Structure 1
Amino acid sequence: MQRLGDADPRTAGPYALVGRLGAGGMGAVYLGRSAGGRTVAVKVVRPELANDAGFRDRFRREVAAARRVSGAFTAPVLDADTDADVPWMATAFVVGVSLHEAVAAHGPLPKDALLMLTAGLAEALTAVHGARVIHRDLKPGNVLLALDGPRVIDFGIARATDGTALTSTGAVIGSAPYMSPEQATGQPLTAASDLFALGSTVAFAAGGRSPFGDGGAAAGVLFRVVHTEPDLDALPPELRPLIARCLAKEPRERPTPREVIDFVERGDRTSPHEGWLPGAVAADVLAVRAVMTALPAPEPTRVLDPPTQDLRGGSSGRGPGRRNLILGLAAGALAAAGVGTAVALNGDGSGSDGGASSGVSGRPAGARSRPSGNDVTEAKVAWQVKQPATCPQVVSAGGVVACVSLNEIWGLDDQGRTRWSVKGPDHGVQFSVQGPTPKAIAAVDGGRLYVAALAAPTAADLSFRSTVLGLGLSDGKDVWTAGLDTPPTMGAMFLPGIRDGKAYVAVMLRTAGSAATPTGYGIWALDLASRKTAWFHGGEPLLAHFALPPAGDRMLIGDTGHLKGLDAKGAEAWTQSVTSAAVGAVGRYGVVVDTSGTLTVLDPATGKKVWSMPGVEGAALRGGVVAANPDGSVLYALLADGDGGLTLAALDTANGTKRWTAPLPLDGTKSSTVRARLLYADKTLYRMDSTAVVWACDPADGRPLWKYTGLRGTDPANLAWAAGDGRLCISDTAATTVAALHANGA
């Protein structure tokens, strides 16, 4: 982490740095250009880490690992200086999008693409293993999809097979859903470990999820990797035998990369070399290429404008020229070192000419013109702290900011100082945290904090049972836990909310007598006063959506194809088929936005439509597709405009009448996973845009009150936020920082 006020570097060796691509725990990745015009991705170590001899050695080893690998399906190192005052490494810039984001945005890959992906990953591993290196972190986020095939990136935790350590002791050893059984149990690794990761990665590409499930804490996922069989149903029949071999528990039973390539070459492919990507994914790649070809040459006298305050502790630079070149891209697409999601090469959030006029195509006649946002006041950070671990949820209430990590909860005061902490292992639990992904696992009610948790396994019961831990918010005391014993579960996944003294918890089911065999999902309603189960609804094959109307006694649940209403006893009251992109609740109503962009307000008791409206931006990141005022009478949503921008609208919840509309500054991307994110608290309506700029708006008319640009360029998928108690709190899970801004921005 750079300190507040530190400037972005302007050069790294012979490369001019024309814009920040992303940032992570080690440093930042920049788009660089040589004097001859070559475009590269440059990883620059954080300045304070450069003074750490041990960390500098680790970076040298990473560079050494990456240098050893060269192949058509990897991103080679072009230059590096590990002895510079601030060490850096330049790699080939891959014009592509990450497999993880491509599948998230457009769904699983078709058969031919899967076959080429499999062969390409095997080709990459041939080069990696030929250099006597084990990658150790092959996963969808470290695979880039380019027009001419996949690329494997990020050798930050690689290890040589000749006895030369390429990571330091204690470094992160992989990503749980894609680790091999021997890696999960800390056994010595061979190159066969990467073949297991290849199998898991291809299975993800075919089904959109890890073959061992993504739900629950990392420990639970690793247990399934070691002890259960993978789910390969989504794979085409031609690939299942090969991927099953890759996922064999015994390393010696897995194929070699050459055997994988031979298997694919024997198969029947329609077009094995040209046009391998689905059209929608190829269009994303072409959009990246279009941005790069339009990129102006670096200005000779100034590469990066003076920085603004950066919540992460870094800075927010502005690239040369005045064209808006902000494009929401997949994780890793613009960072061959595997860091970041969005590129902000101009970074002012405005349109290409500083703001569109009222005559912009797609805007109705007489509508308010789209503002540039340049004249909106920049907010100040009230405080910022570095946390010992990732906090995927923050809660702000009662003078306390609660930060939840895997094994500990911290209560911070109004200055960001730790007031109290509660360690999960002290109470026999760990909290429902898996990786840095923001998720709803905690809620406040009656001055107490309740957190979804997993009870630690015992000799008599090896599973991670579903648990809720409660504690006093003001002092972290009076801690208790309540568990769900029947039916048998594998752990709590989410805590959708608390209403009328009941906590509603999403859990993963298992077969009785089995430690780690998921059989479905359910909703557990826990009475907080008695600490006993009020009701349980189970038998769902998948749970993707939850909504708890604050008024009434109903609940909405569903997957991407169905929506159900549960009554006051957890019984299914109705069900309907709907391809929902997001589900929410406002007042006594349910809200659904389908994949066509139609918002429907419905009666949660019957599922009947109250009113609907097309043209809504509905794909929300971690919830927040709509927001509402305290009494639920006004619903706030984002409307998609014809010019690619958005308009903020205040709608009457009862009938859909527009109270006002306010065009928003262009954030420059149509990414379907990050544009709709709203939050209401303290008479302020907050919006986080796709470039991670936060806007505070007046809920009376949508007028911007202030903005915070210190996070611009951060991957919004790594940002958890909460508002209330007079402040907005943001947790950057990648940087493990938590910061607060006052509701008035001052």
Structure 2
Amino acid sequence: MRPLQRADPDRVGPYRLLGRLGAGGMGVVYLGRSPSGRTVAIKVIQRRFAGEPRFAARFRREAAAARRVTGVFTAPVLDADPDAPTPWLATAYLPGLSLREAVSRFGPLPPSAVRPLAAGLAEALGEIHRAGVVHRDLKPGNVMLTADGPRVIDFGISRPDDAVTITRANAPVGTPGFMAPEQLRAEKADPAADVFVLGATLAYAATGKEPFGDGPLETRDLRVLNGQADLGGITEPWLLDLIGACLRLEPGRRPSAAGVLDLLGPPDDGAPSLLGTRWLPAAIAEEIDRRTAEAAPLSKPPPPPAAQDPALNSVATTDTGPVKGPGDGPGDGPKTQPPPLGTGRRAVLIGAGAGLLTMSGLGTLIWRLTRADERDPSRAPGAARNSGAPPTPQGPPPDGIARWKRHVSKKDRYLEVAAGGGMVLANGDDGNEILHALDPRTGKIKWTRDGGMQATPQGAVTYLSQAEGRQLCAVRTATGRTLWTYDVSFEEDGPTDELAITDSVIVFGLDELTAVSRSTGRRRWRSKLPGRYGVSGVGDLLIVLARDALVGLDAASGKTRWRHPVDYPDFQVVGDGMVYAVDRFGTLHAVRVDTGAPAWRRPNVGGWGSQAGGGRCYVEAGDGEILALDSATGRQLWSRALLGRVTDDPRGQATALGLAGPTLYVSCTDGVLYALSVADGRVQWTYDGDEPNRTRPVTADGLVFIATANGDVRAVAPPPATPRTDGGPRATP
């Protein structure tokens, strides 16, 4: 949770806004306070979506239906204005932690806690269904564990983007891994779909793993459609039977919400009440109690503003000195900004960490924000695991230093950055598709080329795809001077994606591969192997992702050297004599580059953005974890669950990794660039001044370069290093 931004309103309806709880593509969720002092969560929808007549009608209908839901284990809808220029809906604010957060931080729930959880969720779904509402987005992130028991949130309208998506033909609605088969087929979702996802949610609570695994979205969807749930970690027969009944493929064979309660039976005599926290493990109960106590001051009406000191001259002050808000001037009235924060935009409020909100002066909001994990690093979601490393020093990691920024593209356009040969290359789109070559030290533009190109620097020479993929060009990286040009013939597929570079040739093509000499630009050979699934080069070998195999080709001749069967391989990366690829079921395959022999496999990973080098492979796993695996054996060396990850939204979760010597750079979904030590996964420093667009960070001249969501290239320097108390080097802000 973060302070209000400059463009945020002060009020929504009768509610005064206190801060941001979250944001997405459809709108923003705020923490607000009613005139009586009650805290509420307010969803505000963007105007452009409110202008869709079908969206407005849908929002109005479902807001009215959601207000009829009054169950004990739901979060009540308190107020709504679907006809406002920016429609909004207010629900009760529930301090606590989500089931997703509870399991990821404290581990799976014991069967003794899963049983009452199942009863509470089934009762909540029953109330929702009786009101004529289908949740459509039940998941661990939409189950809150509070001091008053479990609560289902976001029912009725689920997520604002669902209300738009469902009006589009053949578009599934929900969260991958937590959708029923009929939802994936874009069929009408009825209460049976919620029961299916109830089973998936209970499986996650009991095992700590999503029952349909991780990896690419298509992989998870395929497992759901085929009924391939992994329930191996569940040993209690009653729980296995219950979840299995909920996960039946045919909607008509699943129990209703009331049927789930019948299968559970009445609670045992002396069982703790669900209207509390005694049914939960002690660590989770303590965390809920702590957050509830910290949230209590937010529910009290603020004290009246203190008398204004004439010496302030209408300028708001804080303990850091006077601060005048942007745009202040004659007639504007006093405005305030939060004082500088040591942890930047990563500071969080109650519900995502620990926070304190006070009022002073002219009603100025003073945010003294710290995280619970900063006070107790061993409990932090970002704490490294399985590493055997000593505890991380207390306090937040230092901040990286912004060096320069260069605008090269329109906002929200795909922008990729590469570095090599003393240049930073960015293929921007700011009205025209232009490749920019930037000085890494200053950001000054050294040269540009038109044409919308894919740039692959290889030291002093950079290879470009240009003219809409109908031309391949080699240029001097330092000057942009053309060395040779290869015009793609009519029968050849142009280089529309990343080029594969070997010692002798450059290879490209979708349905067929074409190899061009690196030195002369002349065609060397063609192959009927398709390159649409991915091609990469290493030394004198070309590695092709075919539909059913990894194929190693001799780069000079195009002849096959080896073939290793893999079902729809994807996301390949090469390093340390290995090629790594993920199959359609989310299993990572490690294959020896020289022979094609299998080395090891690891299930349930996401391969996008992987990196390899220094005897390790770095991949993304479930719940935002970055794994470091031993290249030779696949043994896990450490894992790091990064803070602030937007869980339960797999469409926007993928991270991008960049490896440079002793540091692994991670461009994460929370808008933060993390610098991790490759030795143990510790966060060395972070940078969150510009939101990365989650393309791979690159390095040159001691700086890190990211493409931002605003279409900029940003250069970031690590913070200076000072001696650490344990004898090792430590960065300091």
- Residues 263-282 of structure 1 mapped to structure 2, 5 A cutoff: 263-266=263-266, 268=268, 270-273=271-274, 274=276, 275-282=278-285
Partner of 1:581: 639
Paired residue secondary structure (1:263): helix
Paired residue secondary structure (1:18): strand
Partner of 1:728: 705
Paired residue secondary structure (2:44): strand
Shift of 1:255: 0.7
What one-letter code is carried by the residue in structure 1 that aligns with 2:151?
Answer: R
8 Å CA contact 1:504, 1:526 repeated in 2: yes
Partner of 2:134: 134
8 Å CA contact 2:655, 2:694 repeated in 1: no
TM-score, structure 2 length as denominator?
Answer: 0.58
8 Å CA contact 1:466, 1:492 repeated in 2: no
- Residues 116-515 of structure 1 mapped to structure 2, 5 A cutoff: 116-155=116-155, 167-170=166-169, 173-215=173-215, 217-235=216-234, 236-266=236-266, 268=268, 270-273=271-274, 274=276, 275-295=278-298, 326-327=347-348, 382=407, 385-387=410-412, 396-397=418-419, 399-401=424-426, 419-420=452-453, 468-470=533-535, 481-482=545-546, 485=549, 488-492=565-569, 494-495=571-572, 497-499=573-575, 504-508=579-583
Q: Cα–Cα, structure 1 residues 498 and 97, in superposed 2: closer, same or farther, change >3 Å?
A: same
For 1:172 and 1:449, the matched residues in 2 are separated by 40
Paired residue secondary structure (1:581): strand
Shift of 1:130: 0.3
Q: State whether structure 2 residue 534 is matched by structure 1 residue 537.
A: no
8 Å CA contact 1:211, 1:231 repeated in 2: yes
Shift of 1:401: 4.8
Shift of 1:742: 3.5
Shift of 1:242: 1.2
Paired residue secondary structure (2:580): strand
Shift of 1:148: 2.6
Partner of 1:677: 674
Partner of 1:355: none
Shift of 1:535: 3.6
What one-letter code is carried by the residue in structure 2 that aligns with 1:741?
Answer: R
Partner of 1:524: 591
8 Å CA contact 2:354, 2:370 repeated in 1: no
Q: State whether structure 2 residue 162 is matched by structure 1 residue 95.
A: no
For 1:372 and 1:539, the matched residues in 2 are separated by 34
8 Å CA contact 2:195, 2:256 repeated in 1: yes
8 Å CA contact 1:492, 1:505 repeated in 2: no
8 Å CA contact 1:211, 1:232 repeated in 2: yes
What one-letter code is carried by the residue in structure 2 that aligns with 1:469?
Answer: G
Shift of 1:156: 6.6
For 2:51 and 2:96, the matched residues in 1 are separated by 34
Shift of 1:90: 1.1
Paired residue secondary structure (1:73): coil
What one-letter code is carried by the residue in structure 1 that aligns with 2:124?
Answer: A
Q: Cα–Cα, structure 1 residues 272 and 9, in superposed 2: closer, same or farther, change >3 Å?
A: same
Q: State whether structure 2 residue 9 is matched by structure 1 residue 9.
A: yes
8 Å CA contact 1:522, 1:538 repeated in 2: yes
For 1:68 and 1:154, the matched residues in 2 are separated by 14
Partner of 1:114: 114
Please give the per-residue CA displacement for 1:38-92, whole angstroms capped at 9, x wherever unaligned.
1001112234545555554454345234324332122121112223333222111
Please give the per-residue CA displacement for 1:350-395, whole angstroms capped at 9, x wherever unaligned.
899xxxxxxxxxxxxxxx998999998897684674447xx8x965
Partner of 1:550: 613
Paired residue secondary structure (2:279): coil
Paired residue secondary structure (2:89): strand
Partner of 1:32: 32
What one-letter code is carried by the residue in structure 2 that aligns with 1:211?
Answer: P
Shift of 1:548: 6.9
For 1:101 and 1:543, the matched residues in 2 are separated by 20
Q: Cα–Cα, structure 1 residues 234 and 396, in superposed 2: closer, same or farther, change >3 Å?
A: same
8 Å CA contact 1:137, 1:157 repeated in 2: no
Shift of 1:11: 0.6
Q: Cα–Cα, structure 1 residues 245 and 39, in superposed 2: closer, same or farther, change >3 Å?
A: same
What one-letter code is carried by the residue in structure 2 that aligns with 1:504?
Answer: V
Q: Cα–Cα, structure 1 residues 48 and 723, in superposed 2: closer, same or farther, change >3 Å?
A: farther
Paired residue secondary structure (1:134): coil
8 Å CA contact 1:351, 1:372 repeated in 2: no
For 1:289 and 1:499, the matched residues in 2 are separated by 48
8 Å CA contact 2:348, 2:354 repeated in 1: no
For 1:248 and 1:371, the matched residues in 2 are separated by 46
For 1:218 and 1:227, the matched residues in 2 are separated by 14
For 1:538 and 1:169, the matched residues in 2 are separated by 42
Aligned-residue identity in percent: 33
For 2:112 and 2:671, the matched residues in 1 are separated by 29
What one-letter code is carried by the residue in structure 2 that aligns with 1:507?
Answer: V
For 2:570 and 2:354, the matched residues in 1 are separated by 30
Paired residue secondary structure (1:205): helix
- Residues 590-609 of structure 1 mapped to structure 2, 5 A cutoff: none
Q: Which has the higher contact order (CA 8 A, sep 6+)?
A: 1
Paired residue secondary structure (1:728): strand
8 Å CA contact 1:350, 1:372 repeated in 2: no
Figure out how many residues of one structure are paired with residues of the other and give that number.
538
Please give the per-residue CA displacement for 1:324-354, whole angstroms capped at 9, x wherever unaligned.
99446777999xxxxxxxxxx85687899xx
8 Å CA contact 1:40, 1:93 repeated in 2: yes
8 Å CA contact 2:69, 2:131 repeated in 1: yes
For 2:566 and 2:354, the matched residues in 1 are separated by 38
Shift of 1:17: 0.5
Q: Cα–Cα, structure 1 residues 524 and 145, in superposed 2: closer, same or farther, change >3 Å?
A: farther
What one-letter code is carried by the residue in structure 2 that aligns with 1:138?
Answer: L
Shift of 1:249: 1.0
For 1:506 and 1:534, the matched residues in 2 are separated by 12
8 Å CA contact 2:400, 2:685 repeated in 1: no
Shift of 1:244: 0.7
- Residues 53-92 of structure 1 mapped to structure 2, 5 A cutoff: 55-92=55-92
Q: Which runs of 5+ in 1 are unaligned?
A: 310-315, 335-344, 353-367, 404-409, 427-440, 456-464, 473-477, 510-515, 528-532, 585-620, 638-672, 695-707
Q: Cα–Cα, structure 1 residues 243 and 317, in superposed 2: closer, same or farther, change >3 Å?
A: farther
